[in-house]
Structures are given as C-alpha cells and as structure tokens.
Amino acid sequence: MPITTVPARTLITVTGARIPVPDPDRLVHLQFRRFAGCPVCHLHLRSVVRRLDEIEAAGIREVVLFHSRADALLPYTADLPLDVVADPERRLYREFGVEHGLRSLLDPRGWRAIARAVRHEVRAIGDGRPAPPLRPDGGRLGLPADYLVAPDGRVLASKLGAHVDDRWSVDELLALVPEATRDRS
C-alpha cells in the first residue's frame, strides 16, 4: 500500500546536490523510474524537460529516482535539468511500495512505448548518446511510480505503475495541482 506521509529527509542527487523532501516551499513530484539508460524512462523524462517551465510555474519540483548507481546514471542524465537521485539498494522503492516484476515488460499496454522508445534510442545512439546497458543495475523489471508530495509531507496523489509506461503524463501531473492546492488550504 502506498505511503500517505513522507517523513522529512535530504536526498543527494547524482551531482552531489542536497535536496529536501518534502520541499518546504513547493510540491514535489517524486518519479520512481527504472534503470540508468532505460529507453522508456528517457523518452518520458524528455517530455518532462520540454514542459519543465510549466511544471515549475505550477509550484512543482521534479525529483527523479532510479534503482541504479550514481556513476551509472551520470552518462544518461548529465544533460537533464532535473534532480536525479540514485537508489541502487531500492530503499526508497521499498518504502514507497514501488515494485518490480515480469509484468513491467510483458504487459501489452507497455509495448507501444517500448517500440517508440527503442526507435528513439537508436537515433540517439547514432547521435553519440551511450547505448542502454545490457545488464542494468537492479535489472530491467522495475515498475514506475509517481507521488505528489505537499510541503508538509502529505502525499496528495500517487500512482503505482502496472507496466513499463504506466506513469503520469505532464498533463495528468498538472491537472493534480489545483486539487492539491485546495487540499492544502
């Protein structure tokens, strides 16, 4: 069962920055993604980056977790203007109830995203981006999850993914903000 309150903590990004979660001044969108170099995750994060100005204008800080080591993440995330956190032991994944399993790849609802992501990755590799690892940290069977956390630590909304691409779109995230704001007053 997903947690309902996030205890205060400081997370360290792959670049060494210290970030408070919850953030005392804004909402935090905690994104639990899969492994360093995950093509589906990378494609999703690019959609977030394209609309980051809108997300930040809505008072949301993006914090993205991967179940990979920081050194494995850096080649794939160095150009992302997001707070990326390594959790290779899956401590936060367990705390937040984020699972892994065969259904991440075998669920037909995720296949279109996998095909689209692989096509995108082939082009990106041709442009010099590193290829996804053959044996990623923590394996390929992770499931995504999203949490929207208020400054006081309350979880305002959450989604535990059922397959590789079962996560909030930017539009879905932004649609939660007015409701979340009402809940805080």
| Mean pLDDT value across residues 154-181 | 86
Looking at residue 65, what is its pLDDT?
Answer: 96
- Asked, for residue 174, whether it belongs to a domain, the answer is yes
Which residues 6+ apart lie within 8 Å of 106 measured at CB? Answer: none
Percentage of residues in the chain with pLDDT exceeding 70? Answer: 75
Q: Is the pLDDT of residue 125 over 90?
A: no
- Range(s) of the domain holding residue 156: 9-184
Could you tell me which residue, 17 or 116, shows the higher pLDDT? 17
pLDDT 10s digits, 29-60: 999 998 787 887 788 898 999 999 999 999 99
Tally Cβ neighbours within 10 Å of residue 158. Answer: 17
- Asked, for residue 22, whether it belongs to a domain, the answer is yes
- Asked, for residue 2, whether it belongs to a domain, the answer is no
**Domain count of the chain?**
1
| Mean pLDDT value across residues 151-176 | 91
Residue 98, classified by CB atoms within 10 Å of its CB into exposed (0-12), middle (13-18) or buried (19+), is buried
- Asked, for residue 149, whether it belongs to a domain, the answer is yes
